Structure 1
Amino acid sequence: MKSTINTKIYVSLIKKLKYATRNDCKAFTYIELLLALTITIIILTILPLIINSTKFFDYHLSTNSDIELELFARDLIADFSTSSSLTVENHATISSISDSKGLCKYSYKNGKIIKTVNGKGNVTILNQVTQFKVRKVQAHLIEVDIHLKDKGVMYHKKFYV
């Protein structure tokens, strides 16, 4: 009698399993679920690190002050490297550099560096300049010291022409 009860239970379980396999239920197995969960956890732990690293690059891509300083230095060197003598004027609020022929002049006024060519055109070369110092080192050599402020960050550049 005991064996018939066990066989009846066994037969009913087999019928249920046959029904489950006949339905073709497409579902995840437990191992697939663990694998998907592991991948999700790895992605979610790496995501904050990726966001923090892109903030660094985003700041440097959004500011152009260092590039503007390099272009200013290149223009200044290109304009004054061929001149025979340079004139440097330093006043309380205005500093200027000009060549002996008066063709090109760079002056600092109201936080801007302005380029004047032949005494006619005024082109703003740099904005947000906090300090512009020009010092004549030798007859043909001057030292230019610039402090530029952009988005709360101070940029400092010193070069010789």
Structure 2
Amino acid sequence: MKLFRQHINCVYKIIKPNKNIAIEKQGFTLIESLVALVIQMTIVLLIPLLIFSLGQLKTTVFEDRTYDIELMIKDISHTLHAKDVKAKMIKKKELEIRDSNTEINYKLRNQKIIKTVGHRGNITMCNHVVDVHFEKLTHDLMLMKITYQEGTTTHEKEILL
């Protein structure tokens, strides 16, 4: 039996460790770093001013009752000046409006102005109301005097309906 020799025709890669290898990295220049630092410092300095100004506006934003009162006025005037209103009765701290098929009451109860339709349901129209007084001026016009509490202060408004 003959042995055949195989010739290996490959060369192994020889790795030589190099001590002085320079790697190029893309970095920020000094001017770019200074601009970024100025922007960060400006933001850090503006945060206390922003907190202080929002603290002063807190009473205006969170305790403002004008939006609730305007919605209540719109609802009352809409029901008062509807075409099918038959009778408008003013009682002590209460306004009663009778339509062709329903009866709508607005009354002060537990520091709230409550709307009831057909003596059913309680819809809270406005909270923290101290006093309300309805007065009939002419056949079409009514005056509503409302005293309400906003935070620690008490406000009084006269509204022409």
TM-score (norm 1): 0.63
Classify the secondary structure of the residue corresponding to 1:78: helix
User: Quick check: 33-42 or 138-147, which moved more?
Assistant: 33-42
Deviation per CA, 1:111-148, whole angstroms, max 9, x where unpaired? 11121222333333222111212111112211112232
Q: Which amino acid aligns with 1:87?
A: M
Segments of 4+ moved more than 4 angstroms: 22-37, 56-61, 153-157
What runs of 5+ residues in structure 1 fail to find an aligned partner?
1-21
Q: Which has the larger radius of gyration?
A: 2
- CA 1:144/1:37 → structure 2, altered by over 3 Å: closer, same or farther? same
The answer as to whether partners of 2:98 and 2:104 remain within 8 angstroms in 1 is no
Q: Matched residues in 1 for 2:55 and 2:63: separation?
A: 13
Look up the SS of the partner of 1:140 in the other structure.
coil
Matches within 5 A, 1:137-156: 137-152=137-152, 154=154, 156=156
Bigger drift between 56-65 and 116-125 goes to 56-65
Tell me if the contact between 1:65 and 1:155 (Cα under 8 Å) persists in the aligned partners.
no
Distance 1:42 1:100, change over 3 A: closer
Equivalent position of 1:99 in the other structure: 97
CA-CA distance at 1:76 after TM superposition: 0.5
The secondary structure found in structure 1 opposite 2:43 is: helix
How far, CA to CA, are the matches of 2:150 and 2:128 in structure 1?
Answer: 7
Q: Deviations over 1:79-104 (max 9, x none)?
A: 111225422123xxxx0111255711
CA distance in 1, matches of 2:126, 2:113: 5
For the aligned residue pairs, the C-alpha RMSD in angstroms reads: 3.5
SS in 1 for 2:49: helix
Share of identical aligned residues, percent?
A: 24
| Structure 1 residues 125 and 33, CA gap change in structure 2 (3 angstroms) | closer
Letter of the 1:104 counterpart: I
State the 1:59 CA deviation.
Answer: 5.0
Number of residue pairs aligned between Structure 1 and Structure 2: 138
Distance 1:40 1:107 in 2: 56
Matched AA of 2:89: T
